[in-house]
Structure 1
Amino acid sequence: MRVVAKGAEALLYLEDWLGLTVLVKERVPKGYRDPVFDRMIRVRRTINEARLIMDAAELGVKTPVIYDVDVVRARIRMQYIEAPTLNSIIRANSYSGLVKTLMRRMGELIGTLHAGGVLHGDPTPANVLVSNGDEYLVDFGLGERARPTWDDRYLKRAAVDLNVLLRSLESNYGEVGNALFSDFMDGYGSVVDKSELVMRWVRRIRSLARYYTGRLT
């Protein structure tokens, strides 16, 4: 077992499984939670993430292949994709033609998810792997399924997804972040015909955040 990453909720490691090198995401127990409640949460989130990954694949979005879901140990065995993240490519290439193309493609992928009722939860360049020109979305741990009715409730949920991305781009890339988001929205808008309505909700969310931040200072 070789540990790849350790997060607040899960451990990622490589494992030899049936002759394959696979990536395992295992949700580890939390000692501060009641054991029964803790197990229920870990199992539920594991099943939910596996379903979302498979739902995304059915929509035509490239994701790691799910090989096995172990509900006893709350872990998912999946395809190991040895590839750089979009985040690392942006840092290495700055605001280049390649980066513009990849951000637009990311927008198309997230737009496809939203059109199909899948909300990623953490759609940032760090959760996009780029392999042989293809982009793979990973880490659906914060995601959810919803019926894409495109009413105010769904528009708001889609906007929350986009706001997570926008905040990440601004935080990591400064002024270039807005240009990256614009490229993303070009791709998103090519798939989601209500993209302008989603952006209205993004602006409302950000306006409310500034209002409450101002009241606390």
Structure 2
Amino acid sequence: MKKLIYWSTVLVIALLFTNGLSAQRWFDVHANLSIPVGDFGDDDEGGAGIGANGGLKFNYILDDYGMGAFAAADFFINGTSQDVQEDLEDMFDEAFGVQANYDFPQFRNIPFSAGLQFYIDTHEGVEILLNGGLTANYLNYSDFEIEIEGDVLKVSADPAFNVGFKVGAELLIAKRISLQVGYFGLGDHELSMTTSAPGIPTEESESDLNVSILSVGLGYHFR
């Protein structure tokens, strides 16, 4: 994996800084839906709900061959799914015998991606971009808090990091607006969890979270 990351990075950098007369370089910004898939969206595993994704992408294309590269930074935010929230509320309210107040966690992912891109010009006012590459992801899991008659039970986690991949496709219209779909397989993240509450010892635990996200939405290209 380390060799793959190294040579992929070298290739992308070489393409980004090649001075070809026919090369195109431009940025786009995008605002998409963040749809958790696989374990990440499973109510019995990650329990994430549908959220939002925003990001910035640099595109580099060699017109002569349609080959190029991209580099991007994204931000994903997903809350806890409604079904999971309702199940946890029912479970804890029954266990404690009172109605508690809940602050459910959010999943915040910041993947940086880079890889290869293939460009197709249909000459009908529509262009197609196909891309795929590696990601380095930062995962922040916000605190889960339950307040019961003034006492707070809190579950927190340290930030986690992992290497994964991204594949995507974009349909550009009039060189400015794109319809986008991307799959981010961000992989297994090892979370160091801490559970604390008044009057009981703090408990440390480990948990794995496999993060996969489907991103669907619109982009605007500055060309």
TM-score (norm 1): 0.21
More strand by share: 2
More helix by share: 1
- Name the larger-Rg structure: 2
